[in-house]
Chain A
């Protein structure tokens, strides 16, 4: 189970990182979301992976999971939600105000096209 968990976290963070490095705001926001999923999974596993364990304590006091990472993940999920919501609104605002969805606020492809057209003229 450990290797499956590790591979899942790794693939998620690799995809998140790749998308975060893209030039347009939509993939970047999706990338940040994937990254935060990966981080949540990672945090979850930090107390060690236990199957079929009691949440805090059970009758014969054995096979208990670490409850702290669960509390941390809960906090991280809530904060992640708020941040993602803010990033989406900001990306939409940026699209509206700047006229394109590039993270730098100006569209390099369009500009190159325009200069090429001018040169052709």
Chain B
């Protein structure tokens, strides 16, 4: 049974999704119970996986028992285990929040949500470049439908952009994968990494073209500078639990860049070593700068949060651009923090919007909120965490990233990162004071917020102090992960030489 644990994060959501999709209408209580239970079990499975991966052993699961490099494999190492657990925790908060009524505004919310989880987990676990494409398509198709959940003009309009851009991106992905297959003759990531170090000189150009095309595709998913324009609009228009889950979607791009450019085009890749690093570093800094301007210019709370997400993407990519073990370790710590906190902020924005009636989440004077005090406290905690002020996890994450910069990198990263923090602080305090203090008075006898909404937000926000309390253990784990990533030979050996893995 434990041998099959690796496939559960993909198989379990798929099975739940099929059961949930079998009835389109009705049974809402049963569906909610089932969806939450399935996500909770997924969290337990991910915890078991991370416990297994923490020892440093890289295990793989050969689907249909076709051994690598010929069959399709799922690979469990420290990085993939961490990402799967992060997704499960975020999803648990989102799905509890959605049970308060968001799921009834359209059909099939829970089934699509589970399919999205399946795609995300598959993308994190797969050890095959073409399967990465397939799982990307699964999660994208689910995300298209979830983005449109509930309908409305803003959603349709942003969905058209989102779908068309991602379809073009998928075409590029296939061209890149095809080029790399043509150059190396394999699609298995470990096998490709082994072959690329002994690539004949005349194929190097082909492999470079494929690798850089792949970088374009991943930066579209991660929302790196020239390719981020779809992101703020789509995230601001999506229903709250979906937007919160989308907080992990940009991280899939970051993960893919980290995985492919450390494993396949890492130090050992001969003439192609560290191919993407220079591009990622400079574009990450530009992303940070542009996102800070976006943060200051936003007139809507949800748009503001989307730009804060873009700031975090810039910070993470800067970590990849630095490339050292310390930088990767720091970026993984920051990744866990920022995903959970931004998710909580998206959920909070929905609650604030629901209490302000017509004014919604626009940052303008509105009517007084019935539960303004509790909401403002939660907003304050989330804002402190996301800006990166002590004592919450954002401060630790940013200090770790800044500490990892060496030499002239400091000269570029420190001012831009600190100024983006300042911009976020100014924008959030302006938004908070307008939303909570400059109200028109009036009666505050509106509808109370559901307890499930508070539970979802509370669950996600609680991780920020928890990440500080357990900072030692978490940063030890991320450091071990970064060391594992810096040593791709272990990954290649585990898949290609060791034939005694899981069945």
Q: With A83-B137, A98-B156, A103-B160 as known contacts, state yes or no: A43 contacts B174, CB within 8 Å.
A: yes
Q: In the complex, what residues of A have CB within 8 A of residue B137's CB?
A: 79, 83
B157 within 8 A of A: yes
Instruction: State the CA gap A48–B178 with chains docked (Å).
Output: 11
Instruction: Return 25 A-B CB contacts under 8 Å, by A number.
Output: A20-B164, A32-B164, A32-B171, A35-B168, A35-B171, A39-B174, A39-B178, A42-B174, A42-B175, A43-B177, A46-B178, A46-B179, A68-B187, A76-B174, A83-B170, A86-B141, A86-B144, A87-B167, A90-B156, A90-B163, A94-B156, A94-B160, A103-B160, A103-B164, A105-B160
- Which among A32, A46, A98 has the greatest number of chain B C-beta atoms within 10 A? A46
For chain A residues 61-87, which have a beta carbon within 8 Å of chain B?
68-69, 72, 75-76, 79, 82-83, 86-87
CB < 8 Å: which of B130, B153, B187 contacts A97? B153
Instruction: State the CA gap A39–B179 with chains docked (Å).
Output: 11
Report, as a range, how many residues of chain A touch the other chain. 20 to 34
Q: In the complex, what residues of B have CB within 8 A of residue A90's CB?
A: 144, 148, 156, 159-160, 163
* Interface of chain B, main secondary structure: helix
Q: Which 10 A-B pairs have the closest CB atoms?
A: A105-B157, A46-B182, A46-B178, A43-B178, A39-B174, A35-B171, A39-B171, A79-B137, A32-B167, A94-B156
Instruction: State the CA gap A46–B144 with chains docked (Å).
Output: 30
Tell me whether B141 and A47 are in contact (CB under 8 A): no
Chain A's closest residue to B161 (CB) is A103
Q: In the complex, what residues of A have CB within 8 A of residue B159's CB?
A: 90
Instruction: State the CA gap A38–B168 with chains docked (Å).
Output: 12
- Which among B134, B141, B151, B170 has the greatest number of chain A C-beta atoms within 10 A? B170
For chain B residues 138-157, which have a beta carbon within 8 Å of chain A?
141, 144, 148, 151, 153, 156-157
Instruction: State the CA gap A79–B133 with chains docked (Å).
Output: 10
B181 within 8 A of A: yes
Tell me whether B163 and A105 are in contact (CB under 8 A): no
Instruction: State the CA gap A82–B153 with chains docked (Å).
Output: 24
Q: In the complex, what residues of A have CB within 8 A of residue B171's CB?
A: 32, 35-36, 38-39
Report, as a range, how many residues of chain B touch the other chain. 20 to 34
1/0 per residue, CB under 8 A from B, across A87-121: the answer is: 10011011001100001110000000000000000
Instruction: State the CA gap A76–B131 with chains docked (Å).
Output: 11
CB within 8 Å: A-B pair count: 80
1/0 per residue, CB under 8 A from B, across A10-46: the answer is: 0000000000100001001000100110110011001
Q: In the complex, what residues of A have CB within 8 A of residue B160's CB?
A: 25, 90-91, 94, 103, 105
Instruction: State the CA gap A94–B177 with chains docked (Å).
Output: 32
Tell me whether A98 and B157 are in contact (CB under 8 A): yes
Q: In the complex, what residues of B have CB within 8 A of residue A87's CB?
A: 163-164, 167
Tell me whether A72 and B130 are in contact (CB under 8 A): yes
CB < 8 Å: which of A43, A83, A94, A98 contacts B167? A83
Tell me whether A68 and B181 are in contact (CB under 8 A): yes
Instruction: State the CA gap A42–B209 with chains docked (Å).
Output: 15
Q: In the complex, what residues of A have CB within 8 A of residue B156's CB?
A: 90, 93-94, 97-98, 105
Instruction: State the CA gap A93–B134 with chains docked (Å).
Output: 26
Instruction: State the CA gap A28–B171 with chains docked (Å).
Output: 14
Chain A's closest residue to B181 (CB) is A46
Distance of A6 from chain B, by nearest CB (Å): 13
Chain A's closest residue to B166 (CB) is A83
Q: In the complex, what residues of B have CB within 8 A of residue A82's CB?
A: 141
Q: In the complex, what residues of B have CB within 8 A of residue A72's CB?
A: 130, 177-178, 181
Q: In the complex, what residues of B have CB within 8 A of residue A91's CB?
A: 160
Q: In the complex, what residues of B have CB within 8 A of residue A93's CB?
A: 156
CB < 8 Å: which of B134, B153, B179 contacts A75? B134
Tell me whether B181 and A69 are in contact (CB under 8 A): yes
Q: With A46-B178, A76-B174 as known contacts, state yes or no: A83 contacts B157, CB within 8 Å.
A: no
Q: With A20-B164, A20-B168, A83-B167 as known contacts, state yes or no: A42 contacts B178, CB within 8 Å.
A: yes
1/0 per residue, CB under 8 A from B, across A53-65: the answer is: 0000000000000
Q: In the complex, what residues of B have CB within 8 A of residue A47's CB?
A: 181-182
Tell me whether A94 and B157 are in contact (CB under 8 A): yes
Q: In the complex, what residues of A have CB within 8 A of residue B148's CB?
A: 90
Instruction: State the CA gap A75–B175 with chains docked (Å).
Output: 14
Distance of A101 from chain B, by nearest CB (Å): 10
Tell me whether B164 and A98 are in contact (CB under 8 A): no
Instruction: State the CA gap A49–B171 with chains docked (Å).
Output: 21
Instruction: State the CA gap A48–B181 with chains docked (Å).
Output: 11
Chain B's closest residue to A93 (CB) is B156
Tell me whether B153 and A98 are in contact (CB under 8 A): yes
CB < 8 Å: which of B141, B144, B164, B175 contacts A39? B175
Distance of A50 from chain B, by nearest CB (Å): 14
For chain B residues 110-136, which have a beta carbon within 8 Å of chain A?
130, 134
